[in-house]
Chains A and B, each alone.
Chain A
């Protein structure tokens, strides 16, 4: 039985992948081309992944034998793939962190000469972040539990949720970092600038606004994927699938499904996103609205994993 530690792990891992993915794409699409949002994302993703990994190791029957997973690479086992993906992403994060620290101590000319290395690392990071987002769904779909088994729609659901929760967390932390940079002491500003490799680090309002709008659209896609997931379950001929679906929508998991997965994770953020679509980010009342939007998405992502992981094990063939 996979329990709460696995639920939290999948939530943290998906969010870490989503944070990096959203930050990288946002940096690429923002004029200027500096990767300060990606830098912030690397630190946050690492902070999220480490407790996630500790949780998943502690959930093993023999946590002390975790190292055995690092002696084998099995392409057909999503868990083996996941372990390697997470490990390599963490190693890459450390390398990027060290590299960016070195940048601070060398001349500008050397930094420019070595810029391609930094860019190369961030692109590799993008590949791993995508793998993390998708793997969280594949690990469940590659099973024989009726709620998960063989479903091609489950990885898209997890990838969409990882993107929305990751973007929400990124926006929240970017707003927080902006506040710190604007109102904090000179020492705090200096530390932030050093950490993020900038001389005057701030996330522009237009970037936050674009991310928030994109997040609303991602949640719309997530809602469509969830409907497709329910339809795929209802039309499946596999034994137990319909019974598992009934457990989800009208049984023991009905309350967290409807209240958490549908209302909190999808309807409320969609309503807030659409209601504030054309408003400027600095407009009156927008801050509270955005915070409510982000909190719902992040909490909804956790409830979604809770319902699918725990609900999936309630019903066996």
Chain B
């Protein structure tokens, strides 16, 4: 049975214990912080920050959402990687550090902005779902550290069923926009959410797309343009030849 993670944003209190646990377990260095007027830090996901809690505020509510690699079933990073370093290992998407050449294409392709390359030189990094812990029967460090139960790790199907029950409860309690995010997006995400606000409000794309979804049409449109260019060239040379045939004496330069 595939494993997954479920983030219940209605339970998150933004203690950021998950961020600290991730840094500690994966031995990631600290990064300079930025004052944005909230406690939200590190300022962005990076090669040394694989998860962070995003603070979203409006006039009435303060909502928190843990961002990280979503371990998509239809993963853009896996599709575009030129060397096959980003691959599915079971339900997890991992980057093979020994194979990654550091081209940064996965960084450009990820719909969640969750993959980052070590700058100025180095390969790509992202959340690896604590594969070393999971392989040894433990749960990921962030889920282990969460004090409110906002991060749950387990069998995907069980989590989906629990999420549906939770959404019903939330709607009954007045959270009319409550829904599950990640159950079907991109073929199903390894990290799912229970949202009480629109996804875009929490910094998530409403309808994420696989980077390669339109690729055949992109190639075709390019070829069609080249065809048009050929026609233009053909027409230009043909017209010139017609003019020359009428007025052969006006031709300048050497004739072939």
Interface of A toward B, CB cutoff 8 Å: 1-2, 21-22, 25-26, 29-32, 34, 60-62, 65-66, 68-69, 71-72, 74, 76-80, 83, 130, 133-135, 137-145, 148-156, 158-160, 163, 202, 204-211, 213-214, 217-218, 221, 225, 238-239, 280-282, 313, 316-317
Given A30-B237, A239-B206, answer yes or no on A72-B82 (Cβ-Cβ < 8 Å): yes
Q: How far is the CA of A78 from the CA of B236 in the complex (A)?
A: 33
Q: Which residues of B contact A153 (CB under 8 A)?
A: 221
Q: Are A62 and B232 in contact (CB under 8 A)?
A: no
Q: How far is the CA of A106 from the CA of B228 in the complex (A)?
A: 39
Given A142-B211, A150-B214, A152-B221, answer yes or no on A61-B104 (Cβ-Cβ < 8 Å): yes
Interface of B toward A, CB cutoff 8 Å: 76, 79-84, 99-105, 107-113, 117-119, 121-124, 200, 203, 205-206, 208-209, 211-215, 217-219, 221-226, 228-230, 232-241, 244, 250-256
Q: Are B230 and A25 in contact (CB under 8 A)?
A: yes
Q: How far is the CA of A281 from the CA of B252 in the complex (A)?
A: 8
Q: Which residues of A contact B241 (CB under 8 A)?
A: 31
B144: shortest Cβ distance to chain A, in Å? Answer: 29
- Nearest B residue to A153 by beta-carbon distance? B221
Task: With A21-B226, A144-B109, A149-B209 given, name 5 new contacts (CB 8 A).
Answer: A30-B237, A62-B101, A144-B113, A207-B256, A221-B228
A-B contact count (CB 8 A): 216
Q: Are B209 and A77 in contact (CB under 8 A)?
A: no
Q: How far is the CA of A123 from the CA of B176 in the complex (A)?
A: 63
Q: How far is the CA of A23 from the CA of B100 in the complex (A)?
A: 38
Can you give 27 A-B contacts (C-beta < 8 A)?
A2-B104, A21-B229, A26-B237, A29-B234, A61-B124, A62-B100, A72-B82, A76-B215, A77-B80, A77-B81, A77-B82, A83-B82, A143-B211, A149-B209, A150-B211, A155-B219, A155-B225, A206-B240, A208-B253, A213-B239, A214-B233, A218-B232, A221-B228, A221-B232, A238-B205, A238-B209, A281-B252
Q: Are A71 and B83 in contact (CB under 8 A)?
A: yes
Q: Are A130 and B99 in contact (CB under 8 A)?
A: no
Given A62-B102, A79-B82, A218-B229, answer yes or no on A144-B76 (Cβ-Cβ < 8 Å): yes
Q: Are A217 and B236 in contact (CB under 8 A)?
A: yes
Q: Which residues of B contact A152 (CB under 8 A)?
A: 214, 217-218, 221
Q: Are A204 and B240 in contact (CB under 8 A)?
A: no
Q: How far is the CA of A151 from the CA of B215 in the complex (A)?
A: 9
A27: shortest Cβ distance to chain B, in Å? Answer: 10
Q: Are B215 and A138 in contact (CB under 8 A)?
A: yes
Q: Which residues of A contact B232 (CB under 8 A)?
A: 214, 217-218, 221
Q: How far is the CA of A111 from the CA of B91 in the complex (A)?
A: 60
Q: Are A144 and B84 in contact (CB under 8 A)?
A: no
